[in-house]
A and B are shown apart, each in its own frame.
Chain A
């Protein structure tokens, strides 16, 4: 019994492992598995039930393997160990017969399906993905009832293994994109993927990109809609959202949930988001450009009133803006870290007390407060937090250029950002393409 010896010695280092004597009808066996992953009493009950049904059989193990298990040779110790760490139950017979790998009744280690946390739905389904991979696939399959839905599962990583699943609709998905994506995954399958940055590296995208290469969503609706658009949905085990590839610029403005409203409102809302994006990127830069470099552009009354509000502010507009922007970013960051119960306090302290006091103390002008408040609010009109942060960064480039070159810098910054966005492609699909990723389209 070399296998059992090995497992016992392993048990001394891994107290989670159980090695349990059991009798299947009259057939003595040993059950091995991870106690934290397997609901042992329930599984034993199941085994007994199965065994009673096959009481006539001479070889109950053989019968079991035909149902819910599969054979592993006793000599293949690494595979046994791997099966245990995946949460499978191993039945080791007392003689030298091959052991059986069995899918047991596992403990419930995932929360139940709940409403989304990072996305709000006003008119549409509100069940969200959870950490369990199979549940997610199930939800999505229920949402996308199609005989052309294809599912591919990969085991990624070598030290830390993780299950990943690709879903796409055959015939709709962009073929060359899918091929290149699958090739990238297959050629780096041994790389560990503990986080999305590692996934990014695995797929061969640059590390320093300012925009995300995969859109994320918690909503089965959105994932299903993306499938219909010819995109690929990827699930990673223990990640409560779907990754949608490729990510395109339209994803910032258009969500499938918009389609719950009449078309006119849908376009109006999308226009509003575009305005939000532009406001967020341009307003701080425009303020600095107009106040410190090109005040002549403004109508004289406005120029006077802005100049009036800056009376007593001791430093240039650029410093003033950076100062306040950093404070706002701090508030944003803090409100993500803080527990929900303290969140409103921070809003109060940050928004009202700090804002009021900073103007009273003549440290910044109150026009700037208005502009930056608008900027911050506007940055969250785009869809998805991952998109909101990428536009948060790009406004600083425009701000710096504007402080040097005035309105020219503002426009140059816009061109630079446009050029940057235009240069991004993922597996042949440009970031600036329409939302529908058609077959054979690359532009």
Chain B
């Protein structure tokens, strides 16, 4: 049976969970005008890489990415996948630490940070232990439960916008793409690279249609634009760039007289934290898969527990928000590797295999 729906929902959820915190900050910091060009560029790169990746996986089907690389050679797979495992681990650490920090900042100021990190990690590793099918089903259910809150917030977010801030629509910096290698722009790819690799890890008993995933991924574009333009149009570019989480602050300005809650942000934020838990569980599951492909004697549950314990300990040693940002920056090299090398290698290996298969028959 075609399970494209589950795959698509999880694909969208993981991205939605990542978009609304750091991404607008980075984009607003990158440019003073014409942000839409930066968003569109990032999105185009994302779609292009996704296409390459999915095509490569199609040639390699029904194997997952680990088996595709292992076909070439065990050491080849080890060398090429080791940075991926490292990237995943860094990703989990950064996400857990950052989200706990955000939660503390915004509404749980008296709860100790370690408790929140423990909760997030506990829930994610529990899901990871249940396995990938279970994660997909959870994704679907959580999406159903939480999306009303999200839709409400998206429709309310435009309450205070001033469309004049849309202009100037373009300036020299944005038109010449000179910002592409700037630090904040490279950081903004955090929102793109997080999710899409999981498509290569899906076992063959969860069949999905790559074309449908591609089509569904265009649904993310409006969300990327909303995340950047709601704060821009609410505060104006210069004020927005001074804020740590511009989208959250923009939603905080919304005042709804008929709602019994004063802060709509909270429910929005928590839905996103829920999504990010699913994202984390998926990354933990992927990491466990990678670890176990190298060390076959470990069982899934033990691996997940070990990964969680290590990550929790590392998270405890990160002292403040500056360190999180530094980690995020250090992770950029790995991120670019994962973004470009993995999809292209997958396509190359897939094509080779495909040719060989064609020659044999």
Contact = CB atoms under 8 A, between A and B. Distances in A.
A418 B261 contact: no
A414 B274 contact: yes
B261 A419 contact: no
A278 B145 CA distance: 9
Interface in A407-442: 407-412, 414-416, 418-419, 421-423, 430, 432, 438, 440-442
Interface in B62-114: 103, 107-108, 111
A443 interface: yes
A298 interface: yes
Given A297-B107, A408-B108, A443-B6, A418 B270 contact: no
Contact of A293 (B108, B120, B259): B108
Contacts of A26: none
A293 B270 CA distance: 15
- Decide if the interface of chain B is mainly helix, strand, loop or mixed: helix
A442 B6 CA distance: 12
A440 B1 contact: yes
A406 interface: yes
B228 interface: no
A380 interface: no
A289 to B, nearest CB: 10
A356 to B, nearest CB: 26
B153 to A, nearest CB: 14
A443 B141 contact: no
Determine the interface band of chain B, counting residues with CB < 8 A from chain A: 35 or more
Given A297-B107, A405-B115, A441-B1, A422 B270 contact: no
Contacts, number: 110
A411 B270 contact: yes
B140 interface: yes
Nearest to A418: B141
Nearest to A439: B1
Given A423-B130, A443-B133, A296 B262 contact: yes
Contact of B134 (A294, A414, A419): A419
A370 interface: no
B22 interface: no
Given A442-B1, A443-B1, A415 B130 contact: no
Contacts of B271: 411
Given A407-B270, A419-B126, A422-B141, A412 B277 contact: yes
Contacts of A414: 142, 145, 274
A405 B142 contact: no
Nearest to B278: A415
B344 interface: no
Interface of A: 278, 293-294, 296-300, 302, 401, 404-412, 414-416, 418-419, 421-423, 430, 432, 438, 440-443
27 contacts: A296-B107, A297-B261, A297-B263, A297-B266, A404-B115, A406-B108, A407-B107, A407-B270, A408-B107, A408-B270, A408-B273, A411-B146, A411-B273, A412-B119, A414-B145, A415-B123, A415-B127, A416-B126, A418-B138, A419-B130, A421-B138, A422-B135, A423-B130, A423-B134, A430-B137, A443-B1, A443-B6
Interface of B: 1, 3, 6, 103, 107-108, 111, 115-116, 119-120, 123, 126-127, 130-131, 133-138, 140-142, 145-146, 206, 259-263, 266-267, 270-271, 273-274, 277-278, 281
Given A407-B270, A415-B278, A422-B130, 13 more contacts: A297-B107, A297-B261, A298-B262, A299-B261, A300-B262, A405-B108, A407-B266, A408-B107, A408-B116, A412-B273, A421-B137, A432-B137, A443-B6
